[in-house]
C-alpha cells in the first residue's frame, strides 16, 4: 500500500482545511502553505507549531509511519496525579464503608476529609466535604456521582 506524501499528511493533520485557514492558524503566508502541500518540509519550529495546533504525531507527519507502530505516549504528570488521587479516594471510601455499620451513625471522618477536602473543593464552591463523603458512602450512585464530579474539567478560554 502506498503511503501518503508529506503534503497529503499535512493537509490531513489540519482536517483538510483550506490553505487560507491553515495559513491563518500558523501565521504564515498562503504561499508557504502551498509549498508544504506540494511536499516541502517546514523547519523544526514550524513542525512543532503544526504538532501544537493539530496534535498530530510528528513521526507520522514526516514519514507516514502508522500510529500503531509508534510507541505509546508517556502519561503526563497530571495524568499520573489524577489517577493516583482517584485511587486514594476509592481506597479511603472503601475503608470508610467497611468501618460504618449504618449510614445514619455519626462517624468521624477527619482522615478522609483531610485527604479529600482539596479534591472535593475542586468540585465547586459551597460544597461540604463531609456531606459529599457521607453521600458517597451510602450508595454506589453516590460514589459514581462523586467520581463523575472529580473528572478533570476542560479549561475554556
Walk along the chain (157 residues) in steps of 10 and give the mean pLDDT of each run.
78 93 94 94 93 90 69 66 82 80 53 59 60 60 64 56
Residue-level pLDDT at 38: 94
Query: Which long-range CB contacts under 8 A does 77-85 form with residues at least 24 apart?
Result: 78/152, 82/152, 85/119, 85/150
**Number of structural domains found in the chain:** 2
Residue-level pLDDT at 85: 83
Residue-level pLDDT at 91: 86
Q: What is the pTM of this model?
A: 0.42
Residue-level pLDDT at 93: 83
Nearest to 135 by CA among 114, 122, 120, 125: 120
Residues 142 and 106 grouped into a single domain: yes
* Structural domain containing residue 43: 6-69
Residues 95 and 133 grouped into a single domain: yes
Residue-level pLDDT at 21: 94
Residue-level pLDDT at 88: 86
Residues 62 and 95 grouped into a single domain: no
In a domain, 1, yes or no: no
Residue-level pLDDT at 78: 75
Distance separating alpha carbons of residues 68 and 2, to the nearest angstrom: 17
- Contact between 19 and 37 under an 8 Å Cβ cutoff? The reply is yes
In a domain, 109, yes or no: yes
Amino acid at each position: 500500500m502506498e503511503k501518503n506524501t508529506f503534503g497529503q499528511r499535512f493537509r490531513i493533520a489540519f482536517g483538510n482545511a483550506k490553505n487560507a485557514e491553515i495559513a491563518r492558524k500558523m501565521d504564515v503566508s498562503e504561499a508557504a502553505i502551498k509549498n508544504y502541500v506540494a511536499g516541502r518540509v517546514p523547519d523544526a519550529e514550524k513542525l512543532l507549531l503544526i504538532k501544537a495546533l493539530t496534535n498530530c504525531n510528528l513521526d507520522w507527519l514526516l514519514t507516514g509511519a502508522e500510529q500503531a507502530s509508534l510507541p505509546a505516549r508517556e502519561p503526563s504528570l497530571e495524568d499520573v496525579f489524577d489517577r493516583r488521587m482517584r485511587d486514594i479516594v476509592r481506597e479511603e471510601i472503601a475503608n470508610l464503608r467497611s468501618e460504618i455499620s449504618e449510614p445514619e451513625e455519626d462517624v468521624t471522618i477527619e482522615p478522609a476529609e483531610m485527604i479529600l477536602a482539596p479534591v472535593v473543593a475542586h468540585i465547586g464552591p459551597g460544597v461540604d466535604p463531609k456531606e459529599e463523603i457521607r453521600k458517597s458512602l451510602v450508595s454506589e450512585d453516590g460514589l459514581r456521582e462523586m467520581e463523575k464530579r472529580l473528572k478533570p474539567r476542560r479549561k475554556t478560554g
